[in-house]
Amino acid sequence: MRARPSAKTRRLLGAAIVLAFPIAIALATSATGLASGKAAAAARGIAADHRTAPQVVPKPVAMTVGTGSFTVTPGLRIAVRGGSAARAVARDLAAYLRPATGYRLPIVAGAGRRGDISLTLSRRDAIRNDPDGEGYRLDVTRARATLAASTAHGLYNGIQTVRQLLPVWIESTSVRRGPWTMPAVRIVDYPRYVYRGLMLDIARHYEPPSAVRRLIAQAAAYKIDVFHLHLSDDQGFRLVIKGFPRLSKIGGRGSVGTHGRKMDPGGFWTQDQYRAVAADARSHFMTLIPEVDSPGHTNAIIMSEYNDRRNPRLNDPHNIDCGKYKPPRWDYSQNVGYSALCPNSRNTWTILRAIVEQLARMAPGRYHDLGGDEVPRSLLRQSQYASFVNHEARIVHAAGKTVMGWADIAGPGTHLTAPSIAEYWNPAAGIASGTSTGTEAVAKRMKVVMAPASHAYLDQKYRAGSAGNVPPTLGMSWACPRGCDVDRFYNWNPGRYVTGVTDRNVIGVEGAIWGETVVNLNNVDYMVFPRLLALAEVAWSPKAKRSTRHSPAYRGFVRRLAAQGDRLLFAGTNFYPTPLVRWRLALVGSRVRSAKRRHVSGALATLAAPGRPAGKIRARIRWGDGSTGAGAVGGRPATSTRVNGLYAVTGSHRYMHAGRYVGTVTVSAPGTAGASAAFVVLVPR
Ligand code: TNX
């Protein structure tokens, strides 16, 4: 499909039951398989979902499940100790809980009382093995929930876990029924790596700030703490640079052409928009790292500025274009490896200095990513390439930032060292050819972020060819000729992937969603989820034997992932409902309904059933007056790039007498546990 001249090496290359019982009900034990003792417990009005183990991703370092559960009620308060930073996290927690519960939980100072959630930020709560204080302790008992950490980031990570202890429909954007119970647990948790990243390419296809902000929020829920933004490439330059208006006006005009188009629509961000996204990232305890790729992947810069005679700053007659095409021309295909900025043009440095300095002022993050990947030696010799990188690194340092780049920047002749970061992208492992950039980075004592394309490139197809639920136009396969599903993303060890590149050098992991084939946010979500969750766990959770689909670690992961599918559905996040996971049914009853002339009809419950056509799900309704009937299941079906929507379970019934009736909806489908939920109907006189 596409030639990748500089990268030849690449080619060598439960059975659990989810129940909600808002109030005492009698249970259809046969449909759900509940033992009678449990049915009795349910009938006593105890929420049943706490009996299933918490399904937290990424897996906490240590977790013990206690007895009983804690319930978030409208009377609950969030009690905070630890100043304004802790208060801000408390506000985040209140905001997370608000849409689905409808509760406006007050935030109060102090240790709190019975029934409260309390947050404590104190140095005394530091955890061993957690030098950066990203960890937290969470204690949930029947009486209260207590979260403690030594930094606000740690508290923030803790509230992400709290969300996952609540019923999956806590992620809903509209009000749902409780009860909002959390199982009693004791968790001590902290990350394996400090760098847990997600990269988005808005150069190949433009994405607006709102799309990025949404993705930041989605990723933060899984303790991702770096957002790497690929702002410039051959097909697009996406940010206003003061003094160089053509960079965005001309450089931002298009995107890679897809679906028979020569060019897709482009766009660019203003500096205010960039600042707002950076601030938003920070409020999610995420570092925003801007990348302006150079000296290759620069056709958009070249096309904007190579004969800009009106800009007085660009007064060197030496051309900035050292690319393959003479004269340079737009190429909105997926081609790579044809562009390069000329090192010996002063204009090159005038432009790059403006970019680096303005970005440095715009965002508080520590890093500037100068790219550095895939420059064919036919365009720049290694010595020219190395001196280019060295020169740009000096500009980055002068702007007060630390250099990051693709691991190519560790190659012969560059003068980089710690704390600069080399991001390893090659799929090559062990001592295979192609691993040299990794070992060179280590030799230079650079820090390494692992993103081997065959385990971390989120633009790669889940399944090869046109098999199954895979649209032919979405995704690439150069790194994953046989497809890369969640198992590939989970089963690898960043600290042992390349021989000689160990956890002494590796600071983290990054998933990269490249934009050539990904034309909108719906596509982004589909490719990112659920694979990002595998990377989040690899980056956060302790080392484990992650090698095959049979390893206990992987099996535990896919079991926990099953519950996350329901969360994603309730949140409205698109994802690929991979057949590797036995997705679960999650059912929540509708809010109280009133009968009209003793007749009720419509939705009684909302069902998350990832990957299951509505027609394959059976629904029974007990109306609460002794009669039963069938329910209908319907909703938005799946397409080849979109998971099915939430389903509504509907039914209609005429009651004989006025009263308050508690009914039950029970759903079942082949190959998975059923689910039940109660609903209430008021039949007025
Ligand atoms: C490689 S490896 C790239 C990107 C492409 C991506 C497509 C590396 C640093 N760059 O330019 O978009 O493959 O999968």
CATH number for the domain that contains residue 174: 3.30.379.10
**Helix 271-283 to helix 346-362 angle, to the nearest 10 degrees?**
50
- 386 CA distance to ligand 1 centroid (A)? 20
Output the DSSP codes for 392-460: HHHHHHHTT-EEEEEGGGGSTT----TT-EEEE-----BT-TT-HHHHHHHHTT-EEEE--HHHHBTTB
pLDDT band at 52 (very low <50, low <70, confident <90, very high): low
- pLDDT, residue 5, reads 33
Rounded Cα distance, 96 and 169, in Å: 12
Statement: residue 4 has pLDDT above 60: no
Select from 501, 415, 391, 411 the least CA-distant residue to 452: 501
| Rounded distance between C-alpha atoms, residue 402 and residue 415, angstroms | 13
Q: What is the structure's pLDDT at 50?
A: 37
Per-residue tokens: 441: 């980075």
Rounded to 5°, the CA angle 449-455-456 comes to: 55
363 Rama class: left (phi>0) / alpha (psi -120 to 50) / beta: beta
Q: Is residue 69 part of a domain?
A: yes
Instruction: Please indicate, yes or no, if residue 411 is contained in any of the structural domains.
Output: no
Ligand 1 center to residue 482 CA distance, Å?
Answer: 18
Q: Is cis: bond before 209, omega within 30 of 0?
A: no
Instruction: Give the pLDDT score at 554.
Output: 98
Q: Is the CB of 269 under 6 A from ligand 1?
A: no
Mean pLDDT, to the nearest integer, of 565-578? 98
Two tokens at 122? 């104190």
In a domain, residue 679? The reply is no
Burial-class residue 75 by CB neighbours within 10 Å (0-12, 13-18, 19+).
Answer: exposed
Read off the pLDDT band of 7 (50, 70, 90).
very low
pLDDT averaged over the chain?
92
Q: Identify the pLDDT of residue 48.
A: 39
The answer to whether residue 23 scores a pLDDT higher than 50 is no
Nearest residue to 305 (alpha-carbon basis) of 294, 283, 358, 26: 294
97 alpha carbon – ligand 1 mean position (Å): 38
Q: Whose CA is nearest to atom 2 of ligand 1?
A: 425
CA 516 / ligand 1 centre spacing (Å): 9
Asked if 255 and 316 count as a contact pair (C-beta separation under 8 A), the reply is no
The closest-lying atom of ligand 1 relative to the alpha carbon of residue 460 is: 14
CB-ligand 1 contact for 212 (6 Å cutoff): no
Within a domain: residue 174? Answer: yes
Q: What's the confidence (pLDDT) of residue 53? A: 80
Q: Which domain holds residue 120?
A: 62-189
Kindly state if the Cβ of 199 falls inside 6 Å of ligand 1. Answer: no
Q: What is the pLDDT of residue 152?
A: 98
- 459 in contact with ligand 1, CB cutoff 6 A: yes
Secondary structure letter of residue 547 according to DSSP: -
Question: Does residue 228 or residue 464 have the better pLDDT?
Answer: 228
With a 6 A CB cut-off, is 373 part of the ligand 1 pocket? yes
Task: Indicate the pTM of the whole model.
Answer: 0.92
Note the pLDDT of residue 467: 59
Q: Please indicate, yes or no, if residue 286 is contained in any of the structural domains.
A: no
Instruction: Evaluate whether 481 touches 464 at the Cβ level (below 8 Å).
Output: yes
pLDDT of residue 470: 65
For residue 400, is it within any domain?
A: no
Provide mean pLDDT across the span 399-420.
Answer: 98
Answer whether 514 contacts ligand 1 (Cβ < 6 A).
yes
Backbone angles phi, psi at 89, to 5 degrees: -70, -35
CB atoms under 10 Å from CB of 261, counted, come to 13
Question: In this model, does residue 655 exceed pLDDT 50?
Answer: yes
Other Cβ atoms within 10 Å of 227 Cβ, number? 27
Minimal-distance CA residue to ligand 1 atom 4: 514
Query: Which residue, among 275, 274, 252, 272, has the nearest Cα to 204 in the 3D structure?
Result: 252
Q: Note whether residue 92 is domain-resident.
A: yes
* 3-class secondary-structure state, position 578: coil
Ligand 1 and 424: CB distance under 6 A: no
- What separation in Å is there between the alpha carbon of 578 and the centre of ligand 1? 24
Counting atoms of ligand 1 from 1, which one is nearest the CA of 478?
A: 14
- The predicted-structure confidence for 503-531, as pLDDT tens digits, reads as follows 999 999 999 999 999 999 999 999 999 99
**Phi, psi at residue 631, to the nearest 5°?**
-110, 160
Q: Which pLDDT tens digit goes with each residue over 277-332?
A: 999 999 999 999 999 999 999 999 999 999 999 999 999 999 999 999 999 999 99
User: Which residue's CA is the closest to the ligand 1 atom numbered 10?
Assistant: 373
Looking at the predicted structure, is the pLDDT value of residue 466 above 80? no
Predicted confidence band of residue 264 (pLDDT cuts 50, 70, 90): very high
Is residue 308 one of the residues assigned to a domain? no
Average pLDDT over residues 248-255: 98
Measure the CA–CA gap between 677 and 590, rounded to whole angstroms: 9
Side-chain-facing half-sphere of 132: CA atoms under 13 Å: 12
Q: Is the CB of 321 under 6 A from ligand 1?
A: no
163, 251, 326, 345, 380 from 302: Cα distances, Å: 47, 8, 12, 12, 16
In short, whether 195's Cβ falls inside 6 Å of ligand 1 is no
Half-sphere exposure of residue 598: CA atoms within 13 angstroms, side-chain side: 8
Count of domains observed in the chain: 1
| 376 pLDDT tier (thresholds 50, 70, 90) | very high
Evaluate: CB of 369 within 6 angstroms of ligand 1.
Answer: no
Separation CA 103–CA 74 (nearest Å): 6
The DSSP code for 360 is: H
φ, ψ dihedrals at 384, nearest 5°: -65, -40
Residue 78 CA to residue 61 CA, distance in Å, equals: 25
Question: Coil, helix or strand for 82?
Answer: coil
**Cβ atoms of residues 566 and 582 within 8 Å:** no
Ligand 1 and 425: CB distance under 6 A: yes
Tell me how far apart the alpha carbons of residues 429 and 496 are, in angstroms, rounded to a whole number: 9
Q: How many other C-beta atoms are found inside a 10 Å radius of the C-beta of residue 550?
A: 7
Binding site membership of 516 for ligand 1 (Cβ less than 6 Å): yes
Evaluate: CB of 93 within 6 angstroms of ligand 1.
no
